[in-house]
């Protein structure tokens, strides 16, 4: 099974979520994607952040929070640039307070593991 990453940008006790069209459904999610062959998980996070929302970050600014299923989860509090959609499937970017994330519009099960990793 392919390994993947997910990263949540955080500022002022809010998380940036991407409203993404996965063809079969629309969900709010962090920056995510698969780890390519020959890539480590931090390289994948940096690449996916650049590709999906057009911002740059450094490896030392990534905070590894844990893992769930195929995903390694990261938090990012410092980056360079203004996040904006760089892919047609990303319909909108929006900041949500950490204590009021739209779990009913996220991937099923996020409400079970994500709150603990955000502490």
Task: Report the relative pairing of strands 31-34 and 90-97 from DSSP bridges.
Answer: unpaired
Q: Is the pTM of this model over 0.85?
A: yes
DSSP assignment of 32-57 equals EEEPPTT--HHHHHHHHHHHHH--B-
Q: Is residue 51 part of a domain?
A: yes
Q: Is residue 118 part of a domain?
A: no
Exposure string (b/e) for 65-77, b if CB count within 10 Å is 16 or more?
Answer: bebbeebbbbbbe
Residue pLDDT, tens place only, 49-101: 999 999 999 999 999 999 989 999 999 999 999 999 999 999 999 999 999 99
pLDDT of residue 60: 97
Q: Is residue 70 part of a domain?
A: yes
DSSP 12: T
pLDDT of residue 27: 95
Distance CA 77, CA 8 (A): 9
Q: Is residue 111 part of a domain?
A: no
pLDDT of residue 41: 96
Distance CA 39, CA 36 (A): 5
Q: Which residues form the domain of 90? A: 4-106
Residue pLDDT, tens place only, 5-45: 999 999 999 999 999 998 889 999 999 999 999 999 999 99
Does residue 109 have a pLDDT over 90?
no
Q: Is residue 22 part of a domain?
A: yes
DSSP 35: P
Q: Is residue 27 part of a domain?
A: yes
Tell me the CATH number at 98.
3.90.79.10
Residue 117's pLDDT band, with cuts at 50, 70 and 90, is confident
Is residue 53 within 8 Å of 47, Cβ to Cβ?
no
pLDDT of residue 118: 81
Distance CA 92, CA 112 (A): 24
Q: Count the domains in the chain.
A: 1
């Amino acid at each position: 099974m392919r390994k993947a990453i997910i990263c949540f940008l955080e500022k002022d006790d809010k998380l940036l979520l991407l409203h993404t069209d996965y063809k079969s459904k629309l969900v709010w999610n962090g920056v995510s994607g698969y780890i390519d062959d020959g890539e480590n998980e931090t390289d994948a996070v940096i690449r996916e952040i650049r590709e999906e929302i057009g911002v740059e970050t450094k490896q030392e600014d990534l905070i590894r929070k844990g893992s769930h299923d195929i995903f390694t989860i990261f938090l990012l509090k410092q980056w360079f640039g203004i996040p904006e959609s760089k892919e047609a499937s990303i319909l909108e970017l929006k900041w949500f307070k950490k204590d009021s994330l739209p779990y009913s519009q996220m991937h099923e099960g996020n409400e079970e593991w994500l709150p603990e990793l955000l502490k």
